[in-house]
Chain A
Amino acid sequence: MYQGIRISGFGGQGIISSGILLAYAGMLDGKNVSFFPAYGAEMRGGTANCSVVVSSEEVTTPVVSQPDTVIIMNEPSLAKFEPLLKPGGLMIINSSLVNSRPKRSDIKVVLIPCNEVAAELKAPRIANMAALGCFCRHTGALSVEAVAKAMPKVFKRAKPEMLALNVAALRKGAEFN
C-alpha cells in the first residue's frame, strides 16, 4: 500500500493541520509516513499545500510529485494539481468553493461541499475534516477511526467538544460518494 497525497487550498483552511493529522494517523496505524509543507514567504492569506505519504513500505521522497490523491479545497488549486495527479488517481473537490471541474477523464472525481458540511455542524472552520473523511472512504488508506484517534495528539489544545465536532465532520465527509 502506498498513498501519495497533496492537499491544497488557502492559508487558514487547515491545509497544513490536515496533512499533519493524516501523517500522525498513519504513524499510529503502524504505517510509514511523511509530511512536507510547501511553505511560502507570506504569513497570511496565501495558498498552502502539503505532501503526505502513507505507506506500508519505506517512504522515499517526501515531496509527492505524482499524487495518488489530491484534495482541492479552493479554486486555484485545481489548475495547479490536476496535471500532477496519477492516471486513475482520486480527486476530492470542495464543491462549496470550487466551481470549475477537471478536464481529465482518466481520474476519479468526488465532489463534496465541505463548507456546507461544516456549516451544518455550526463549525465553519472544520471544512477540512469533511474532506479527510471523504479521503478515508475512497482510498481505504486510513480508517475514519484512525484519523479520529490521532486528533487529540495533533490538536493538543482543542477542547473535547471541538474534537467531537471534528470527528462528526469526518464521519459526515465519509458519507459522500
Chain B
Amino acid sequence: MLQVNRRPESLCDVKMHYCPGCGHGIAHRLVAESMDELGVRERTIGVAPVGCAVFADDYFNCDMIQGPHGRGPAIATGLKRCKPDCIVFSYQGDGDLASIGMAETIHSAGRGENITVIFINNAIYGMTGGQMAPTTLVGQKATTCPQGRDPLVNGYPMRICELLSQLDGTRYLERVSIHSAAHVIKAKRAVKKAFRCQIEGRGFSLVEILSTCPTNMGISPLDAVKFVSDQMVPQYPLGVFKDFEGGKSDVSRD
C-alpha cells in the first residue's frame, strides 16, 4: 500500500481539541514536519502559550514548557541561554504576542535571541471567546467591539513583521498564510527556514502565519478562509521582511 501522508514524528498521537476550520492544526503540522525534516526533534524545546494553543505542550513530541500569557520569548530566552545546543521555539497567538507580550517580543528580537517564534495571527482572541485582538481589522466585529473596530476608540491593527523589521537583532521575518494549499506549502518553507536560521546560529527568526478562527468570527470555515485571503492579506501583506540569506527583502504581494 502506498502511504502518501502520515503523522510527523514530532506530533504526538493524540486528538487535538481545535475547532473545525481552525488554522492551528495546520500550523502545528508545519512546525512538526520542519522539526522532522531538519532532524532536530530530540533537541528541540517548545514553549506553549496561553490561548487556544495552550495544549500544544501535549501535541508536540518534544520537550515542552507552558508559561504565562505573552512571556514565551522570555521563557525561550532562558531556555536557550541555558541550553544553547537545543532548538527553542515559542508558539504564540496574536493576543499573546502582540498585546500582553509585546515587550517580550520586541526585546527578544532586539537582543537577537537565537530563537524561533511562530506567530499565529487570526485577528481575534480565541480561547476567551472572540474579543478584539491587537490585529483585529478596522470594522471587524468582536465581542469587545460589537459595532466593529473603530480606530477612534480602539486604535489600529498592528503589523508585527513590519515593526520587528526595524530592529537590528532580527534575522528572518516572513509573513505567510494558510488560506490555500499553495500558501500552506509556502508557509511550510518559511517555518522550516526559520528553524534553519536558528540551527545555523544566525539569530532571531519569526514567521507570522495568517490563520483562521471560524468559531469566533461566527462564520463557516470556508468563509473564514475567504476572510483571510480577501481582508487580512490586504492589511497584512505576505512576504519576506528580513532574510539572513539576503533573499528578496521587499514585500511581495500575492
Does a CB–CB distance below 8 Å link A and B in the complex? no
- Chain B interfacial positions (CB closer than 8 Å to A): none
